[in-house]
Amino acid sequence: MGTFAVCGARPGARFSSSRWLDGPGFGRLRSRDLGIGAGLRFGEGGNHRVMGLLERRSQLIARFAPEEGEALHRFQQELFGPRARQLDEARRRWLFVSNPLKVEPEASLWIATHEGEVVGQQAGISHRLKVGDLELNSSWSVDLMVRPEWRLRGIGPALTDTYRRSYDLVMAVGATEAAYRAVIRSGWVGLGSLPTFVRPYRLNKILAWRGREGGLLGAAAHLATPGIKLLDTINSTYAFGSGTRLVEIPRFDARADAIWRTSSPDYPIAARRDLAFLGWRFDDSVDAGLYHRFYLMRGETVLGYAVLRSGEQLGVEVGFVVDYLCPIAWSGPLFAWCVDWFRGREVEALVADLNSPRAEPTLSRLGFWKGQRASGKRLLFSLGATCPASTELLNDPAAWFVTRADSDWDHPD
């Protein structure tokens, strides 16, 4: 459920216990649910008191060990709910134990225990982050939770602080407006909302999805349907005319490494998307059977890849571009083939939640609408103590490449 760091907050910062947090990085929880003190103040000696509290609470925190599985299960069942995905032991092993991108042998899951019971947890999804010419040991913050009787007692900040010390950079996806402002005051850097792009196949269902199917808009949808069909035809012609083809594969292979080498120069900041990442993220995933994997090929040359799936969103069946990578010059054919692949299938639209500003003109030409409202997911990061990366580059939202494959954003429940 994300991190909320107390260390590094500006003097005089005050955190309200009534703010809500939201999204894979934060979960639908109030700041007090995570153990953030409503009355914590900094300055006038407050820094020393808070740091002393963090040091004391850190003595309760250690990395998760297998023998603590039963206690962790009880904690998660009570705090996340009896049907929460956090209770899936296979998912936990996949995300936090068998992830090949971890540099440490232990699980990337920290727990606070008292008298044999788990009172709080903080998890992270490890990855290698390309930042310019550097590669950083980084992590997506997820699943921070504190037992109610231990909230406002420093456990949440201590978990976060312990977790952050293991990485050059930590990031989170999520947060409502109120929570976003709160974490910014705590020292995180906010990069704004991640956009959603929607490519409709049938407008009536999409307007119903948005609750606007009646009146003039409904009439306009009927009139626009032939235009969408014409756009579909133009899109297919463009895809075939590009000299490329989309080839479905059962698993990723060594060609994924070549895609990363040729594509990564076009993306200043991106999680490393090589065979190690793609094999773990999609082929070994507990949801592996839901994903369709493709290579974009021209002759025998592999130019890029895409990962697609279908699913329900707000009661409407849609397709998702879960992940992709190719040189920017080939993004047009790649997305055109993705649009074409879902044609005739039982989906009302193709949804691409991503941050890739250089690809936006291509998406627009292919009939994608950039949503008036963003995905609801805000991107935030916090530097580690010895991070060597340029903060000027990190502070530029246009430099970041983020898709549903990052963090635990795409979890088909």
The DSSP result for 342-392, as a single string, is HTTSS-SEEEEEEE-GGGHHHHHHTTPEEPSS--S-EEEEEE-TT--S-HH
Q: How far apart are CA 79 and CA 66, in angstroms?
A: 20
Q: How far apart are CA 108 and CA 103, in angstroms?
A: 10
Amino acid code (one letter) for 137: N
Confidence (pLDDT) at 54: 63
Average pLDDT of span 100-106: 90
Q: Which of 14-18, 84-88, 377-381 has the lowest mean pLDDT?
A: 14-18
| Predicted confidence (pLDDT) per residue in 274-289, tens digit | 999 999 999 999 999 9
Domain boundaries, the chain: 20-193, 196-373
Of 138 and 17, the one with more pLDDT: 138
Q: How far apart are CA 150 and CA 148, in angstroms?
A: 5
Q: What is the distance of C-alpha 281 from the center of its chain?
A: 12
Q: Is a pLDDT exceeding 50 seen at residue 220?
A: no
pTM of the model: 0.84
Could you tell me the two tokens for 180? Answer: 């976003």
Considering the chain, what percentage of its residues have pLDDT values greater than 90? 59
Of 293 and 29, the one with more pLDDT: 293
Closest CA to 122 of 107, 135, 136: 107
Are 356 and 263 spatial neighbours (Cβ–Cβ below 8 Å)?
A: no
Confidence (pLDDT) at 172: 92
Strand, coil or helix: 253: coil
CATH of domain 196-373: 3.40.630.30
What is the C-alpha R_g of the chain?
Answer: 22
Return phi, psi of residue 375, to 5°.
-65, -10
Q: Is a pLDDT exceeding 50 seen at residue 26?
A: no
Amino acid code (one letter) for 185: R
Confidence (pLDDT) at 8: 29
| Predicted confidence (pLDDT) per residue in 168-201, tens digit | 999 999 766 766 776 787 788 999 889 999 999 8
Could you tell me the two tokens for 44? Answer: 């006038």
Span between the terminal Cα atoms of the chain, in Å: 16
| Predicted confidence (pLDDT) per residue in 32-68, tens digit | 444 443 333 334 444 555 556 666 777 889 999 999 9
Q: Which of 35-39, 134-138, 141-145 has the lowest mean pLDDT?
A: 35-39
Are 331 and 362 spatial neighbours (Cβ–Cβ below 8 Å)?
A: yes
Confidence (pLDDT) at 271: 97
Q: What is the mean pLDDT of the chain?
A: 82
Are 205 and 225 spatial neighbours (Cβ–Cβ below 8 Å)?
A: no
Considering the chain, what percentage of its residues have pLDDT values greater than 70? 78
Confidence (pLDDT) at 313: 85
| Predicted confidence (pLDDT) per residue in 342-382, tens digit | 998 889 999 999 999 999 999 999 999 887 555 568 899 99
Confidence (pLDDT) at 284: 97
Q: Is a pLDDT exceeding 50 seen at residue 270?
A: yes
Tell how strand 109-114 and strand 20-21 pair up. unpaired
- Tokens 């939202």 locate to 397
Which residues on adjacent β-strands are paired with residue 249? 293
Domain 20-193 has CATH 2.40.160.10: no
Say if 20-193 and 196-373 have the same CATH topology: yes
Confidence (pLDDT) at 52: 64
Amino acid code (one letter) for 47: N
Distances (CA, A) of 14 to 38, 237, 346: 7, 57, 50
Q: How far apart are CA 142 and CA 159, in angstroms?
A: 12
Q: Which of 162-166, 293-297, 381-385 has the lowest mean pLDDT?
A: 381-385
The residues, ordered by sequence, that sit 6+ positions from 151 with a Cβ below 8 Å of its Cβ are: 32, 33, 34, 35
Of 176 and 76, the one with more pLDDT: 76
Which of 52-66, 153-167, 237-251 has the highest mean predicted lDDT (pLDDT)?
Answer: 237-251
Which band of pLDDT confidence, cut at 50, 70 and 90, is reported for residue 238?
very high
Distances (CA, A) of 259 to 102, 245, 299, 323, 360: 22, 15, 15, 13, 21
